[in-house]
Chains A and B, each alone.
Chain A
């Protein structure tokens, strides 16, 4: 069972203070920012992020505290009993305005051409403070955009030095690629040795993109490549949509977090002109069959254990850079996206009588790392890349807005055959613990030949850092663990390195919350929105008639018509892959 250590209830001292004349009582140690929220007062913030430790860097959140000579930063200042706070005095407003004016005077803030236009925290505060001109000389610090990465673009001219990206990359992901260099006006956030992002050990997770308040880090935009393909009559343009996109795309188009919009998503893609709309959930089911059998084979033949999942390309790049000595633990299964890609240009091309060279394969993913994944050499077949281009949820949202579609009122429609039928097991791939639960649903029944009494594996669900469970397969005990976010993954990897890991199977997802919290998801993506998307994911699972991968009739057909058997020759050729050691720095030639 999950190891939740609840602290015994402690007596917490309370403090009563007044904020703008409103009295509020909160536990001592609460910040002024949080206390103000309790009485309905929103203090503007920029360097502060709800999921990251407070930093007190930008000084936008300043307030007046009676008896204190200096303005204090509400995001870090702890309340005290009897304190009197003013959050909106002329002095406070003036200070905030100057802070924002100085930010706007540094670099290039030309909003209409910025990827964060209308979804930018700096823009929002500038508007709410009524800033109409910049009384300072604008100082450009001309620096080219870093476009080297297949996944992420950095535009240092828009950076406001809030350091949220530094915190997320170092603390949440344990990668530590972004860091401030230089000082004073010349300070900037950059990579180790100021190299291009593609030359350092960035895993392309895009978590920095999600926390950046402005347009200084964002996904590489591939929408034009897709528009071009859609306009090319010689191409059969097919699309697959990841499990996590159906519960998040709505947020890009004005719906509240946690909306399930599977049918509308399919309709929108048809409207855009895709020839076939398929579901990555189908190959998620296929992954379970292959990976489940791989686990059983490793257990039977004394293979390397624990086996680590391989669906998350950010995680794969991480282990290739930082723990290459553990690569034998990683399942050889390709990710569902790449299994789909490989089958689309072989099995599907054959079945539909299309020359694979005419197929243009698009994938819609919650993930920036998938953009890199589809460019890996191992992911290319005889007729070019298995997946031609990856769009993030945000990019698809942008395209749908460009189309002028009224997304909320689109009719519901179904995915196309043969990659349209899927199960609840495929759906839950989007949430942390989902791959594990889907695998257990199948492995249990394959091993025991019995039907699961209850198919919900609650111990592996939820946002807890590391989850574990023991499963009894008719006398065979299987011990599993689940980690999301690479810092959490590191804990389990260090255990393996020390020889202290007694798990059989570990699911690792690069992004906090799993794919629903991926770096390509709508902004904001916070722990709060993640929880809502997870709830929607399990709701979608419950609503499906089939909830176990091995019961998917289209999967059965795929094996009988084409693959023959799990881990068979065809599977090895198309559905499995290899990994490699990657250096921390790309050698410069």
Chain B
């Protein structure tokens, strides 16, 4: 869509970065997805203003850009926390008690699935099988996997991440 839009609320720096991404991907077979992916990579998520800017620059209705951004689970329209927790929701983990693991995370952080803590430290998500069913229930924090979880273990792990803001948990 062309013509006038809301007063630009993106910083010129962000706007320029988006222009660069568009320039790079505009001739790809499905440029919209590539562009959204790259912009998300740079900024961590896709804000409303970014989606509006991308839609205007590509002359694609914002409704469609938003539809694509919400369809793919690797794209996010909400800012994510520094640490992303993914609790396995597949059947073997379920049998082993992933429900109570999930509840432990929720209780500890005070957030629901899909939400981020107010301090921006944690985002809670669920995931399909992590491939380590033998040690279920399991969860991932960023790219580390934790198995044989109990409520107590969950609490310990999360407190360690919360303390070490640089995230170099070993």
Contacts and interface: CB of A to CB of B under 8 A. Distances in A.
Contacts of A77: none
Most buried by A among B48, B62, B71: B62
28 contacts: A170-B61, A175-B61, A176-B1, A177-B63, A179-B64, A179-B67, A180-B67, A181-B66, A181-B71, A182-B71, A190-B63, A192-B61, A192-B65, A193-B48, A193-B52, A193-B62, A321-B3, A322-B1, A322-B3, A323-B2, A324-B3, A324-B4, A582-B4, A583-B5, A583-B6, A584-B1, A585-B6, A585-B62
B169 interface: no
Describe B's contact surface by its main secondary structure.
helix
Interface string A204-222: 0000000000000000000
B6 A179 contact: no
Contacts of A323: 2-3
Contacts of A401: none
B70 interface: yes
Contact of B71 (A183, A322, A325, A584): A183
A10 interface: no
A325 B6 contact: no
Contacts of A324: 3-4
Given A193-B51, A193-B66, A179 B61 contact: yes
A182 B70 CA distance: 5
Interface of B: 1-7, 48, 51-52, 55, 61-67, 70-71
Contacts of A180: 67, 71
Interface in A509-551: none
Contact of B67 (A175, A181, A583, A585): A181
Interface of A: 170, 175-183, 190-194, 201, 321-325, 581-585, 587
A192 B70 contact: no
B63 A191 contact: yes
A208 to B, nearest CB: 12
A587 B7 contact: yes
A79 B67 CA distance: 34
A324 B3 CA distance: 7
B44 to A, nearest CB: 18
B64 A176 contact: yes
Nearest to A584: B5
A191 B63 CA distance: 6
B63 A585 contact: no
A179 B3 contact: no
B5 to A, nearest CB: 5
Nearest to A175: B61
Given A181-B70, A183-B71, A584-B1, A192 B62 contact: yes
Contact of B63 (A179, A182, A582, A583): A179
Contacts of A175: 61
Contacts of B63: 176-179, 190-192
A582 B3 CA distance: 10
B128 to A, nearest CB: 12
**Nearest 3 Cβ contacts at the A-B interface:** A176-B61, A179-B63, A192-B62
Nearest to A178: B63
A190 B62 CA distance: 11
Contacts of B2: 322-323
Contacts of B71: 180-183
Contacts of B52: 193, 584-585
Nearest to B51: A193
Given A176-B1, A181-B71, A194 B6 contact: no
Given A175-B61, A181-B66, A192-B61, 17 more contacts: A170-B64, A176-B61, A177-B61, A182-B71, A191-B63, A192-B55, A193-B62, A193-B66, A194-B66, A322-B2, A324-B3, A324-B4, A325-B3, A584-B3, A585-B5, A585-B6, A587-B7
